[in-house]
Chains A and B, each alone.
Chain A
Amino acid sequence: MKTIAHRMKRSALALSAGLALTTSMAVQAADTIKVGVLHSLSGTMAISETTLKDTMLMLIEEQNKKGGLLGKKLEPVVVDPASNWPLFAEKARELIDQQDVDVIFGCWTSVSRKSVLPVVEELDSVLFYPVQYEGEESSKNVFYTGAAPNQQAIPAVDYLMNEIGVERWVLAGTDYVYPRTTNKILAAYLKGKGVADSDIMINYTPFGHSDWQSIVSDIKTFGSAGKKTAVVSTINGDANVPFYKELGNQGLSAEDIPVVAFSVGEEELSGIDTAPLVGHMAAWNYFMSVDTEANTDFIDSWHAYIQNDDRVTNDPMEAHYIGFNMWVEAVRKAGTTEPSVVQDALIGVSVPNLTGGYAAMMPNHHISKPVLLGEIQDDGQFAVVWETSGTVPGDAWSDFLPGSKDIISDWRAPLSCGNYNVKEKTCSGQNF
């Protein structure tokens, strides 16, 4: 009963949204296609998100030079949600309702995505989300072009276990949702591989932690038990610099105890002296140092666009590159920018990535990506030391958590569900 009512409500909403869209479209002069860019340009997240805004503007400009899309020019609509989570929802509504954008590229933190989620679902729009995240989500209206945990954390751990022979694990993270979920998945995965409880050390620190003395000393003691030890770090942003400094000062080199980070990229390393960090690792799906024609072209056009040859490129930028090209491809295929049509057209679209392969949109709205392990070099770049042999499809619901093991996501008809329990054969809808 409830589900029927729910569905009716939803279709009514979709209908009214559709009506609103068609009427407003008729009013609007139909010579441009509007693309919404929802990234913070002020506040704490401005550091990371401004770069993505510039990336989007660059991509749109290039597409227009190539003659636009469906015979029309693309027109970027940039708004500033100011690192303020509720404002993300308001700005998203403004973009869709008042500006009539056909697609939104945006968000960085998980909390901003969760804030925008009900809006894009209610107004049935399309959001491309470009950052690696903790998974456990799949929405009809969101396309996740960043890595799910199985596209970053799990392969990194596999590499350490099989290639380096690591037997003891320190899972260190900042105390919030992404590290906690990722570490929960990793701990379950490691135990499944036969690692004993006593060989896993989990440690959380507050945001911006700066006094790492005793933690680094603990890691040192933990690592001197005769088994090869590695640190898997989900330490966020600022806290990394004093952490790596303390590692260097206490004489822990990457050869003794390597640190693999999931939140440290080229952008974070630019401006700090990386000499003491040489050899520590990061797992991403893209590195600026990857030597392919596509990447060299991308870096050149980025330098030309931003007019600064010292600017670096990073993983979320590649995610936007892929996401944008997928959307363009899907619109071409569908012959319209109507979001509900594009949503279906997007599944199965495959475009080149920057690392010499192809990225395909999966039915669960995640994409396939290669996983690369890079070691930090003294020039602030990463040297790729290992990569998966092919691409890895993103898994929305982790197979290693008891709550989500049996859940799959498939947005193709007839299932059309982001949260389907294969054991109970029920779809919990989008309310999770």
Chain B
Amino acid sequence: MIKRVFYLFATLLLLAGAPLPVSAADGFEQAIVQLTERSFRTKETAIVSIAESGDERALPLLKRLLDGDVRYLRYARTVVYAEKAEGGYRITEVLTGEELGIKDRREAKRVVINNALRSVLRRQIASLSLNSDAPALRLAAVREMSGGLDDETASALEARQQVESNATIREAIDTALALRDLESEDKALRLAAIERLHGSLEPVATLRLHDLAEGEASAEVKQAAQNALKAIAFNRDLSGFGETLFFGLSLGSVLVLAAIGLAITFGVMGVINMAHGELIMLGAYTTYVVQQLMPNHIGLSILVSIPAAFLISALAGIAIERGVIRHLYGRPLETLLATFGISLILQQTVRTIFSPLNRSVATPEFMSGALEINSALTLTYNRLYVFAFCLLVFAALLFILKKTPLGLQVRAVSQNRAMARAMGVRSEWVDALTFGLGSGVAGVAGVALSQLTNVGPNLGQAYIIDSFMVVVFGGVGNLWGTLVAGLSLGVANKVLEPWSGAVLAKILVLAFIILFIQKRPRGLFPQKGRAAEG
């Protein structure tokens, strides 16, 4: 008796766990109810049966499930699509497409998914979108399938390869098929597969070849695998070198951007401006405000912020110069203290206006993601843009200082104030404009930094020390010095970081600069001639 009950129970369990094969629409409808279960394992079975049901509603359902748009009604357990609306969610039934009005979050419960389910979803969506029209989707599909092919998926890929026109996708399919061939019984097939994976940077390829090089019976195959691994190691080192260089240059470009305004105010005018970091912060906050004003045009708002931030910071800079610094020329210690006070005032003002919490500045679509050179070397777009932007700002500044009347006057005043005044240059006017220029450039740096780090009241403090370091190392009063110093410090930092850690790398760089300044007090590119004597 007990035994019979047990069997009955077991059969029931089996029925609940694995629905019997039924017609496509029925399978879909049955599986969909299981999505409302609490257990992630049940949901996983449901997702797989939905994907395999062949129902045309399957793909959109899986995609929206991945996006987190699928909910269910608390009591009826009807699975629905939910869109955020006033007072809750506007819901549409999945099965019938019928609109059911607006429900709040207590009635429309979310179908919770976890990481494991997310990867199952991605895999299923991939296999369903292998023949999609968008190349990016197809590539993602092939990548998802790569490394775990069975006969069915392999033949799907082979079929796809016949009609595929995109070269990158063909290559990805090729790698996926070669990975499968590595496990083939046929020695010639294995050798051919190794040949095709020669130098491939896919992590799966390395792992499989590694297994082959250790556990393979045939010496010939073993040797081939080892050679392929050597080629991979070489390619990887090359990519690693490129990556470190890129990281260094990008860190360097941030340093240059932060320091280049200081190179003008400190380098050309000789003012120790401790509020420089806060001028950068003002630029970052300007970006935030501009973005709040035009929330639907994130990309455009960044472009608008550049002149806006320049103006705001430049005006703030001119106000600081006219209000405080001009009374303190020739008294560096007092300038230092006064500008430090200004920096605290600016920080607290921002805290009062915008609250002490960090503000989030959205990244436009074209700046997120990465440019994939190969599987081991990816260059992130936001860093690439910041690097290009840094060079652009540098070129513009160089142009202003070397080719415009303002630049001429600035250089004249900084080299010999008395003589410049005798020639009819309004030195006070030039001072204010120079300081405004330096401050404005700091503001522009703030726009770039808002894309990389937190926009908060403490943003400026993080960069002030680094900025002074770059300017002093590069040689006071020399823009080229600032560029070279910033980039080389960035690269040095990134070369050191992997083996010394981030904390020690910073210390080592600082110690190096101290020693360097002992030896060459005027920095990398000292000013020469009479101007240098001041």
A contacts, CB < 8 Å to B: 44, 46-47, 164, 175, 203-206, 208-211, 213-215, 217-218, 224-226, 238, 241-242, 245-246, 248-251, 254-255, 258, 271-273, 278-279, 296, 375, 377-378, 383-385
Given contacts A215-B502, A255-B115, A385-B40, contact A242 B452 (CB under 8 A): yes
Interface assignment of B222: CB less than 8 Å from any CB of chain A: no
Contact indicator B251/A254 (Cβ below 8 Å) = no
Interface assignment of B380: CB less than 8 Å from any CB of chain A: yes
Interface assignment of B381: CB less than 8 Å from any CB of chain A: yes
Contact indicator B462/A279 (Cβ below 8 Å) = no
Q: Contact partner of A279 among B106, B118, B368, CB < 8 A? A: B118
14 A–B contacts, CB within 8 A, in A order: A203-B501, A214-B497, A217-B247, A238-B456, A242-B452, A245-B363, A271-B357, A271-B358, A271-B360, A272-B358, A273-B362, A375-B115, A383-B110, A385-B40
Question: What 7 additional pairs, Cβ within 8 angstroms, besides A210-B453, A271-B360?
Answer: A224-B206, A238-B358, A251-B378, A375-B114, A375-B115, A377-B68, A384-B112
Q: A213 — which chain B residues lie within 8 A by C-beta?
A: 247, 250-251, 380, 383, 494
Most chain B beta-carbon neighbours within 10 Å: one of A213, A250, A377: A213
A2 to B68, CA, bound (A): 65
Nearest chain A residue, comparing its CB with the CB of B202: A224
Contact indicator A258/B115 (Cβ below 8 Å) = yes
Contact indicator per residue, chain B 363-396, by CB within 8 Å of chain A (1) or not (0): 1000011100000001011110000000000000
Output the least CB separation between A239 and chain B (Å): 8
Given contacts A210-B454, A213-B383, A273-B362, contact A254 B368 (CB under 8 A): no
Interface assignment of B458: CB less than 8 Å from any CB of chain A: yes
Interface assignment of B356: CB less than 8 Å from any CB of chain A: yes
Q: Contact partner of A249 among B370, B462, B494, B498, CB < 8 A? A: B370
A242 to B358, CA, bound (A): 12
Output the least CB separation between B123 and chain A (Å): 10
Q: A210 — which chain B residues lie within 8 A by C-beta?
A: 452-454, 462
Interface assignment of B119: CB less than 8 Å from any CB of chain A: yes
Given contacts A242-B454, A251-B370, A279-B115, contact A214 B381 (CB under 8 A): no
Q: B456 — which chain A residues lie within 8 A by C-beta?
A: 238
Interface assignment of B55: CB less than 8 Å from any CB of chain A: no
Q: A278 — which chain B residues lie within 8 A by C-beta?
A: 68
Contact indicator per residue, chain B 174-207, by CB within 8 Å of chain A (1) or not (0): 0000000000000000000000000000010011
Output the least CB separation between A113 and chain B (Å): 22
Interface SS of chain B:
helix
A96 to B116, CA, bound (A): 52
Given contacts A206-B506, A271-B359, contact A255 B68 (CB under 8 A): no
Contact indicator A204/B368 (Cβ below 8 Å) = no
Contact indicator B370/A250 (Cβ below 8 Å) = yes
Interface assignment of B12: CB less than 8 Å from any CB of chain A: no
Q: Contact partner of B254 among A203, A205, A211, A273, CB < 8 A? A: A211
Nearest chain B residue, comparing its CB with the CB of A242: B453
Contact indicator A217/B358 (Cβ below 8 Å) = no
Q: A375 — which chain B residues lie within 8 A by C-beta?
A: 114-115
A250 to B381, CA, bound (A): 10
Interface assignment of B244: CB less than 8 Å from any CB of chain A: yes
Q: B112 — which chain A residues lie within 8 A by C-beta?
A: 383-385
Q: A47 — which chain B residues lie within 8 A by C-beta?
A: 356-357
Pick the 10 closest A-B CB pairs, nearest first.
Answer: A224-B203, A210-B453, A249-B380, A255-B119, A226-B207, A385-B114, A213-B247, A383-B112, A272-B360, A205-B502
A245 to B451, CA, bound (A): 10
Output the least CB separation between B76 and chain A (Å): 18
Q: A242 — which chain B residues lie within 8 A by C-beta?
A: 452-454
Given contacts A214-B497, A217-B243, A279-B118, contact A241 B358 (CB under 8 A): yes
Contact indicator B503/A204 (Cβ below 8 Å) = yes
Contact indicator per residue, chain B 499-523, by CB within 8 Å of chain A (1) or not (0): 0011100100000000000000000
Contact indicator B359/A249 (Cβ below 8 Å) = no
Interface assignment of B90: CB less than 8 Å from any CB of chain A: no
Interface assignment of B122: CB less than 8 Å from any CB of chain A: yes
Nearest chain A residue, comparing its CB with the CB of B123: A255
Output the least CB separation between A246 and chain B (Å): 8
Contact indicator A378/B247 (Cβ below 8 Å) = no
Q: A271 — which chain B residues lie within 8 A by C-beta?
A: 357-360
Given contacts A250-B378, A250-B380, contact A204 B502 (CB under 8 A): yes
Q: B243 — which chain A residues lie within 8 A by C-beta?
A: 217
A254 to B383, CA, bound (A): 22
Contact indicator B454/A206 (Cβ below 8 Å) = no
Nearest chain A residue, comparing its CB with the CB of B122: A255
Output the least CB separation between B81 and chain A (Å): 15
Q: Would you list which residues of chain B between 85 and 137 have a CB under 8 Å from chain A? A: 106, 110, 112-116, 118-119, 122
Q: B462 — which chain A residues lie within 8 A by C-beta?
A: 208, 210
Given contacts A217-B247, A238-B454, A255-B122, contact A273 B502 (CB under 8 A): no
Q: B502 — which chain A residues lie within 8 A by C-beta?
A: 203-206, 209, 215
Output the least CB separation between A337 and chain B (Å): 35
Output the least CB separation between B4 and chain A (Å): 32
Output the least CB separation between B350 and chain A (Å): 14
Q: A225 — which chain B residues lie within 8 A by C-beta?
A: 207
Most chain A beta-carbon neighbours within 10 Å: one of B106, B380, B458: B380
A5 to B487, CA, bound (A): 64
Nearest chain A residue, comparing its CB with the CB of B121: A255
Contact indicator per residue, chain B 234-262, by CB within 8 Å of chain A (1) or not (0): 00000000011001001100100000000
Q: B106 — which chain A residues lie within 8 A by C-beta?
A: 296
Contact indicator A249/B368 (Cβ below 8 Å) = yes
Q: A296 — which chain B residues lie within 8 A by C-beta?
A: 106
Given contacts A242-B453, A273-B360, contact A175 B247 (CB under 8 A): no
Nearest chain A residue, comparing its CB with the CB of B84: A379
Q: B363 — which chain A residues lie within 8 A by C-beta?
A: 245
Output the least CB separation between B456 and chain A (Å): 7
Q: Would you list which residues of chain B between 480 and 507 have a CB under 8 Å from chain A? A: 494, 497-498, 501-503, 506
A209 to B506, CA, bound (A): 11
Nearest chain B residue, comparing its CB with the CB of A381: B110
Output the least CB separation between B187 and chain A (Å): 24
Output the least CB separation between B164 and chain A (Å): 23
Contact indicator B454/A214 (Cβ below 8 Å) = no
Q: Contact partner of A208 among B67, B68, B378, B458, CB < 8 A? A: B458
Given contacts A241-B358, A271-B358, A278-B68, contact A214 B382 (CB under 8 A): no
Contact indicator A46/B356 (Cβ below 8 Å) = yes
Nearest chain A residue, comparing its CB with the CB of B67: A378
Q: A272 — which chain B residues lie within 8 A by C-beta?
A: 358, 360
Contact indicator A226/B203 (Cβ below 8 Å) = yes
Contact indicator A218/B114 (Cβ below 8 Å) = no
Q: B358 — which chain A residues lie within 8 A by C-beta?
A: 238, 241, 271-272
Output the least CB separation between B194 and chain A (Å): 18
